[in-house]
Structures are given as C-alpha cells and as structure tokens.
C-alpha cells in the first residue's frame, strides 16, 4: 500500500475529529427531522439540536444565541456580512476599509462592490503582517460604513490586534467585521471585548465538517442591519434562507467546543512543535520566516527560501509531506501569493515559500521527518543550480 504523505496543511482544512463525527451521526439517521417542522417529534428533536448548537457557539464567543446565523461556511458568511452591510447601509455611505492580506472571500466581495460604485480602501501591512492602527484612523471617512480585518491570516498566521481595531471602529460608529475562520477554536475570541459587530466562522478549519459555518451578527449597541443574500423560507430570522443542516450544525458546535476546551494545552503543544520545526530549518542559509514571530497562530510556520524554484520545491516534497505554497483557495493561481508580496517579497521569493500548517494530530516524529526532508530537498535544488553553471 502506498504510504500517504505527512499532512501539514491544516490551514487548508483539518481532518474531522472522531468526537465531532460521533456527535453528528445520530442526526443523519435517527434524528433526521427538519428543524422547521415544529408540528411533530422529528422536527422538535432537530430544532432542539440546533438550539443547543447556537447556545454552545454563542457561549464560546460571548454573544447571545440569537446572534448566530448559520451559513454554508466562512465564504458565505463573509459575503453576507460585506454585501449585506453594503446594501443595508447604502444611504449612509459607500466606503469600506479592509486589508491587502485578507482572504479572497473578503477581497472579492469588496471588488464586486467597487463595480457597483462603492469605494474600497486596502490598508497596507507592515513587514510583520500587522496593520498600522494609525493608517486605519487616517483611512476613516464620514462615509465609511464597514471595516473588515481578519482575526488570523490564513497564510502567515498573523493575529491582528482586534480589540484595538474594534475600539477605533466603535469610536467612529463604524461597523467592524472579522473573518475568524482560521482563529476560532485556536485563540480566544470575545465579540464584546473586541467590539466586533460581525464575525465569520467555519467548521472545517477546526476539525469539524466542511460545508457549514456561521456569522455572528450583533443585535444591540448597535443593532446591525443586513440585507439577505439568499431568499426563500425565511430561516435565520430572514437573513439566510434554506433548510438548516442539522448534522453539520451539531458538528460545527462540537468542533468549536472542543477547540475551546483544549485551547491552552493544544496551543502550547503546537507552538513547541512549530519552534522545533523552525529551529531545524534555521540550519539553512537564505531563508525567511514570514509574519510576526510571536503574534501568530500556534500551528503556523510560513517560510521563504532563496535560490530555490518554488514549483521544484513542492514537487520534491509532495511524496513526503502535504504542504501548501499559499492559500489552498487560490492554489491554481499563476501569480505569487498576494500576502507575501504585501510583506515586500519579490515574486521569486514569494513563489519559493512553504506554509506549514500543524494540527491536533501532528507528532514530533512527523516534524523531524518533515524538517529533514525539507533540508535535503532545498540543499539538493540549490546544488543543482550550482552544477548547471559548470
């Protein structure tokens, strides 16, 4: 049997935790009812499961259950937040602020709105990937209606200062949205202390199922208005129509609950493994560790290698380790990572980068194997370039 490569691409997706699957299974078969069918037991069972899931998720981020809107994932949640605010607050202003290094699920809706006449300001980041808070202050205008800044970057793992950003937004009475797809279950998130008005979540980055996510929508101080992007049965208080997918919702809540329970112990373990990997890779000359050294997700390590062809590097490693050169959502792109070029990297260096995404099931033995394979592959590719010159 062909041996599968070591999986270090947990920012693309994570394997489902068996405890999550166990919680979901009864709602595929035994408790299969539609939660909107409230005239019989089957519907009541599903409705109760959805209610419990809302409460679980709400407790982890310090909001009320009614403020959780279920979606098909973070991409839909981001679109609902950005387009929904743009349409609902159109008469108050048509200016949105976001960041150069955001996920495409934020940047593309913003570009779409530009085609409708909105203005979008893209904040630059510093070399460590963090935004300059003074730049945010200066970018705000009377017509600004929304600021969207991701909690943790999907490529370089940098964690933005959400509390400070939220304070600036609320001082100016501007709505604050954050794409927290990579952050939920990995770092503490509190929508009250962080002054968040909207926050996008997903399950499959935190050992839950694909195809389910949620959007937190503040109900008071201020009450956020959203224009629905899907119309139909009026589910989710009219903000997101469609039959609620009970098994997936149960899985989302269980995944987030487990992440919160293990956030300290697992964070410590992954940081130690990440540092173990970076220390071994530091034997190489001409490498760059991208993003802030400490203000980052515990399981993230993004490295650029000088004098290496990026495609050859991935090809040389693919049988040994499953790893990405950037965002899996943009893996077919022919351009270098927009995140790494925003840090100031030349295209050649941005292409020759690896994103190591460590996870709950990563072991120290695997880290040592990956480090050794990377060292050998990089040295071999560099030597090949030298040999070609003679």
Catalytic residues: 329
Q: Is 132 helix (H, G, I), strand (E, B) or coil?
A: coil
Query: In 3D, which of 223, 220, 189 has the Cα closest to residue 206?
Result: 189
Phi/psi zone of residue 341: left (φ > 0), alpha (ψ -120 to 50 degrees), beta? alpha
For residue 159, give the DSSP letter: B
Q: Give the separation between CA 328 and CA 247, rounded to whole angstroms.
A: 26
- Taking each helix axis from N to C terminus, what angle separates 263-281 and 246-261, rounded to the nearest 10 degrees? 70
d(Cα 10, Cα 382) in Å, to the nearest integer?
Answer: 28
Taking the chain, what is the end-to-end CA distance rounded to the nearest angstrom?
Answer: 41
The DSSP H or E segment spanning 364 is helix 364-388
CA–CA separation, 47 and 38 (whole Å): 8
Contact 98, 124 (CB under 8 A): no
CA distance 255 to 202: 10
How far apart are alpha carbons 301 and 166 in whole angstroms? Answer: 27
* Sheet arrangement for strand 119-123: 68-71, 213-217, 198-202, 175-179, 144-148, 95-99, 119-123
Provide the CB-side half-sphere exposure for 97 (13 A, CA). 25
SS3 content of the chain, % helix, strand, coil (to 5): 40, 15, 45
Q: Please, what's the b/e burial string for 199-208 (b: 16 or more CB within 10 A of its CB; e: otherwise)?
A: bbbbbbbbbb
- Bridge partner residues of 322 (DSSP): 7
Helix (H, G, I), strand (E, B) or coil at 165: helix
């Amino acid at each position: 049997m062909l041996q599968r490569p070591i999986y270090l691409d947990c920012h693309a997706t994570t394997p489902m935790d068996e405890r999550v699957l166990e919680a979901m299974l009864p709602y595929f078969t035994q408790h299969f009812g539609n939660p909107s069918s409230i005239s019989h037991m089957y519907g009541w069972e599903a409705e109760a499961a959805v209610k419990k899931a809302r409460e679980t998720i709400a407790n982890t981020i310090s909001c009320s259950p009614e403020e959780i809107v279920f979606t098909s994932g973070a991409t839909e949640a981001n679109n609902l937040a950005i387009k929904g605010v743009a349409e609902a607050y159109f008469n108050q202003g048509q200016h949105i602020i976001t960041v150069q290094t955001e996920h495409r699920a934020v940047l593309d809706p913003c570009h779409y709105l530009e085609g409708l006449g909105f203005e979008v300001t893209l904040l630059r980041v510093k070399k460590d990937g963090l935004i300059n808070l003074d730049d945010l202050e200066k970018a705000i205008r009377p017509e600004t209606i929304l600021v969207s800044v991701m909690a943790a970057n999907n490529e370089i793992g940098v964690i933005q200062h959400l509390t400070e950003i939220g304070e600036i937004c609320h001082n100016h009475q501007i709505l604050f949205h954050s794409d927290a797809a990579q952050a939920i279950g990995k770092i503490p998130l509190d929508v009250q202390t962080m002054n968040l008005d909207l926050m996008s979540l997903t399950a499959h980055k935190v050992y839950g199922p694909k195809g389910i996510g949620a959007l937190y929508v503040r109900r008071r101080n201020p009450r956020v208005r959203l224009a629905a992007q899907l119309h139909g049965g009026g589910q989710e208080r009219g903000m997101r129509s469609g039959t609620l997918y009970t098994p997936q919702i149960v899985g989302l809540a269980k995944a987030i609950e487990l992440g919160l329970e293990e956030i300290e112990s697992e964070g410590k373990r992954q940081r130690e493994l990440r540092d173990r990997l970076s220390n071994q890779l530091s034997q190489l000359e001409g490498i760059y560790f991208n993003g802030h050294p400490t203000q980052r997700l515990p399981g993230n390590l993004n490295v650029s290698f000088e004098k290496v062809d990026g495609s050859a590097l991935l090809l040389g490693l693919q049988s040994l380790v499953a790893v990405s050169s950037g965002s899996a959502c943009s893996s077919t792109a022919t351009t270098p990572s927009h995140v790494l070029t925003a840090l100031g990297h030349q295209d050649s260096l941005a292409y020759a980068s690896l994103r190591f995404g460590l996870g709950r099931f990563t072991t120290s033995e695997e880290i040592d194997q990956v480090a050794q394979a990377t060292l050998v592959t990089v040295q071999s590719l560099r030597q090949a370039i030298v040999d070609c010159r003679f």
